[in-house]
Each structure stands twice: as C-alpha cells, then as structure tokens.
C-alpha cells in the first residue's frame, strides 16, 4: 500500500482563518444586515496603482503579438526586474547585492515555505511564538513535530522581540516588521542576531515582507544593512503589501553568493547554488506580465504611488493606535507596521475578545492565540481596510463599554 507523508496529520487542523470565517458566517446569518468591519485578514484593499496597471496592459499587448510574445522565461526572473531590484532596493541604499543574487518568485509564502528544501533535517530550527504560521507549518510538513524545533517566546516583558537563544540553534526565522505583532527591531538589535549567527555558523531566514512600512531611520529595511549579514542571511521580499500585489503575485528572495556552508565531509557549498538548482527544477518562473508590473513599481511614478499606498495604510494604523491609546488599552506595533497588537482589555482571552468585538461592535479581528500560545490574551488588528471603515471601527471601539 502506498504511504503518505504522515507529518501532515500532525498539523493543527483547525486553520485560524477558516475558524474565523465560520464564526463570522454564523454571526451574519443570525444578524442580517449587520454592518461588519473587517480588520482581520492581512489582505490589502486599494487597487493596483496606475503605473502598475499601465505596465500590465503594455505587457499583455506584447504577449498578443508574434514578434514580442514570450514563452518560458528564466526561472530566476527576468534580468530587467532583477537589475532594478539590485539597483533600487539595495545598491542605492549602499548595500552590495547583485542581480544574480536575486530570485524572483510568485510570493514570499511560497519561498519562506520552500526554503526548507535546501536545508538538512537535523538542524535545530527556532521560530518565534507568536509567528506567521507558514514557517511552523512547513517545518512540520517536512520534519514533523520534533524536539529540534524551538519556540522563542515573545511577550510583553521582552517587548515581543525574541531573545538570543542560549542553546544550540542552526536556523532561525526572523520577520521584521513583524506579522502578527507589528514590532520592529532596531539596527542595534538586529546586529546582535547577525553577530550571533556568524559566531555560531547559524542561518537567518529574514522575512522583510513589510519593509516598506519602516519609517524610523534606526530600523533596518533589509538585514543586509548590517555588516556581514550576507554571510549568514537569506532575505525574503514581497510586492504584496507595498504595491498591492496580493492577487497579482510577485516577490523575490535574496541568496547572497557569500552565504556558504560546510557539508559533513568538509566541502564548502554555496546556498545560492542550491537555491538556484531548487528553483530551476521545481519552478518555471513568474509570469512575464507580472514581472513587467513589478518593474513598474521601480519607475519614479511607481515609487511615488507605492509610497502613497503605504502612507494610506499607515494613516489607518495611526487612527487605530490613537483610538486605542485614548481608550487606555495597551498595544504594540502600528508605527512601522500595518499591524496593531493589543492586549485584550480586562484580561479577556483572545477568543472571548474576538466573540465580544464581533457581537458588540460588529468588528472582525484576529485572535492572537491563533499565531501561537504566547499570543493568548492578545489580538491583531490590521490597517488594510479603507480609511472610512477604519475610522468607523475606531469610533465603535471608543464607544464600546467592555
Ligand atoms: N511573510 C509574511 C510575514 C506575511 O505576513 C505574508 C502575508 O501575509 C507573506 C510573507 C506572504 O506574502 P506573499 O503575498 O508574497 O506570498
């Protein structure tokens, strides 16, 4: 009889967002006409910007003509996009990353999930608790629940930032600005992690999907702003939250040439080569039209529109922060991130708060415990809804007697 990968049976079956959807559906069917405001799921609401739309139209026309039609493209991404990324996201910021070190993809979810393909099974892997669930679930899919998986607890005492582990760790996932807590690391804090990784021959998997939301100068947008990080870190970037590509799908991963590892028999191997091999074998590239759209994000108009889009959501984040602070609630995030992480008032647990916020304010958010046990008693609100709906939600919360 054939066998399955039984690690899948170890996964938490009740997926957070489907549980939320079921609860919301039940509420809606018994409260017909209730004006629900969704500050839960991390999807964007603004449409794609004109520069992106124009580039898409042009690329579609190219695909319609015999002379300019494109079939399979390079698995690593087209040179026109990789060059722009290297120049504008890195070299103009004083970071020496070349186009060859960039792998264009269809989403950071895929890449943060797939990166485990090039890593060994015996690594001690650390993830934060709470966490973006993809890191945890893809680890379990590959290895199963294991004592080699270490959860680094993030809580109010440590400001929802993990502490450097005292025990052996080979691989760590870091995500800043953070989903779900909205917290950020200063360059000084990030340097400690880079120094630790270099000293311990560890690998940092750095998810910078929200880098565009970084406002403060002393926060890093890229881990490569830290000296020597190219020897110990892979960075993931996405166009989902800065340019609204959640439905279009485009991202990239940086695997520096300087990132080397020794095999068990002492041979030095480049992770860049392994990821290149992995992508060339299992991935046939991001759509040409989508890569042209991503390229347009780097035009001067595209950059302007991207800043406007991020500014719009950041203003929403400020409305939420200010409203909740006025109410006297304790919160994290929302200053360099589109997420606000609040302590449920009155020591409510995350799901009780979810149920009450839904029933009494008609607002949908995300229970912190859904991101890990250390999220219990916390709640995530997102800044991705419209200005009007966000402002209305804040007014409802301000009037709420809970
Ligand atoms: N990484 C983090 C931390 C995220 O929150 C998300 C999406 O919400 C992603 C990656 C996925 O991004 P993409 O849309 O590029 O797959």
In tens digits, the chain (402 residues) has pLDDT values of 999 999 999 998 767 888 899 999 999 999 988 899 999 978 999 999 999 999 999 999 999 999 999 999 999 999 999 999 999 999 999 999 999 999 999 999 999 999 999 999 999 999 999 999 999 999 999 999 999 999 999 999 999 999 999 999 999 999 999 999 999 999 999 999 999 999 999 999 999 999 999 999 889 999 999 999 999 999 999 999 999 999 999 999 999 999 999 998 999 999 999 999 999 999 999 999 999 999 999 999 999 999 999 999 999 999 999 999 999 999 999 999 999 999 999 999 999 999 999 999 999 999 999 999 999 999 999 999 999 999 999 999 999 998
Ligand 1 atom with least separation from CA of 238: 15
In CATH, 51-299 is 2.60.120.620:
no
Which residue's alpha carbon is nearest to atom 5 within ligand 1?
179
**242 close to ligand 1 (CB < 6 Angstrom):** no
Tell whether the torsion through CA atoms of 77, 81, 83 and 89 is positive or negative.
Answer: negative
Distance 245 CA to ligand 1 centre (A): 11
**209 close to ligand 1 (CB < 6 Angstrom):** yes
Considering the chain, tell me which residue range(s) the CATH 3.90.1150.10 domain(s) occupy.
10-47+301-399
Ligand 1 atom with least separation from CA of 175: 3
Distance 398 CA to ligand 1 centre (A): 30
Q: What is the pLDDT of residue 14?
A: 67
Helix (H) or strand (E) holding 352: helix 350-356
Ligand 1 atom with least separation from CA of 109: 16
**390 close to ligand 1 (CB < 6 Angstrom):** no
**128 close to ligand 1 (CB < 6 Angstrom):** no
Q: Is the pTM of this model over 0.95?
A: yes
Q: Is the peptide bond before 367 cis (omega within 30 degrees of 0)?
A: no
| CATH architecture of the region 10-47+301-399 | Alpha-Beta Complex (3.90)
As a whole number of angstroms, the distance between CA 276 and CA 254 comes to 11
Distance 241 CA to ligand 1 centre (A): 8
Structure tokens belonging to residue 207: 């998810």
Q: State the pairing for strand pair 233-238/203-207.
A: parallel
Distance 133 CA to ligand 1 centre (A): 10
Whole-angstrom CA distances from 57 to 70, 103, 105, 299, 340 are: 15, 24, 21, 16, 36
Mutate to test the pocket of ligand 1, among 136, 209, 235 (most ligand atoms within 8 A of CB): 209
As a whole number of angstroms, the distance between CA 268 and CA 201 comes to 13
Under 8 Å between Cβ of 283 and 291: no
Under 8 Å between Cβ of 112 and 207: yes
Structure tokens belonging to residue 363: 């607002």
Considering the chain, tell me which residue range(s) the CATH 3.40.640.10 domain(s) occupy.
51-299
SS3 223: helix
As a whole number of angstroms, the distance between CA 221 and CA 213 comes to 9
Q: Supply φ then ψ for residue 367, to 5 degrees.
A: -65, 130
Distance 209 CA to ligand 1 centre (A): 6
Distance 246 CA to ligand 1 centre (A): 9
């Amino acid at each position: 009889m054939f066998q399955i990968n039984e690690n899948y049976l170890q996964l938490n079956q009740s997926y957070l967002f489907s549980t939320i959807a079921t609860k919301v559906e039940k509420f809606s069917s018994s409260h017909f006409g209730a004006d629900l405001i969704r500050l839960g799921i991390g999807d964007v609401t603004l449409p794609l910007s004109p520069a992106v739309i124009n580039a898409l139209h042009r690329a579609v026309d190219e695909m319609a003509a015999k002379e300019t039609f494109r079939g399979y493209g390079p698995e690593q991404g087209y040179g026109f996009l990789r060059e722009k990324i290297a120049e504008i996201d890195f070299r103009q910021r004083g970071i020496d990353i070349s186009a060859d070190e960039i792998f264009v993809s269809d989403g950071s979810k895929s890449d943060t999930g797939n990166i485990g393909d090039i890593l060994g099974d015996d690594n001690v892997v650390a993830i934060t608790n709470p966490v973006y669930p993809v890191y945890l679930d893809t680890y379990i899919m590959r290895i199963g629940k294991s004592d080699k998986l270490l959860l680094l607890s993030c809580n109010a005492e440590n400001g929802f930032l993990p502490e450097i582990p005292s025990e052996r760790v080979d691989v760590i996932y870091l995500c800043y600005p953070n989903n779900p807590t909205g917290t950020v690391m200063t360059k000084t804090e990030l340097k400690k992690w880079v120094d630790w990784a270099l000293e311990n021959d560890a690998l940092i998997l750095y998810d910078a999907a929200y880098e565009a939301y970084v406002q403060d100068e002393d926060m890093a947008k890229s881990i490569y702003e830290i000296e020597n990080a190219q020897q110990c870190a892979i960075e993931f970037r996405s166009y989902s939250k800065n340019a609204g590509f959640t439905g279009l799908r485009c991202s990239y991963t940086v695997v520096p040439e300087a990132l080397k590892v020794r095999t068990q028999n002492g041979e030095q191997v480049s992770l860049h080569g392994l990821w290149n091999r992995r992508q060339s074998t299992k991935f046939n590239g991001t759509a040409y039209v989508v890569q042209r759209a991503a390229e347009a994000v780097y035009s001067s108009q595209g950059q302007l529109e991207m800043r406007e889009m991020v500014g719009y959501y950041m203003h929403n984040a400020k409305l939420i922060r200010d409203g909740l602070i006025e109410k006297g609630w304790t919160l994290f995030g929302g200053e360099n991130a589109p997420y606000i992480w609040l302590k449920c008032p009155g020591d409510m647990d995350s799901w009780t708060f979810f149920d009450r916020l839904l029933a009494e304010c008609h607002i949908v958010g995300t229970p912190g415990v859904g991101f890990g046990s250390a999220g219990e008693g916390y709640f995530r609100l997102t800044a991705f809804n419209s200005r009007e709906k966000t402002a209305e939600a804040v007014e409802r919360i301000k009037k709420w007697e809970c």
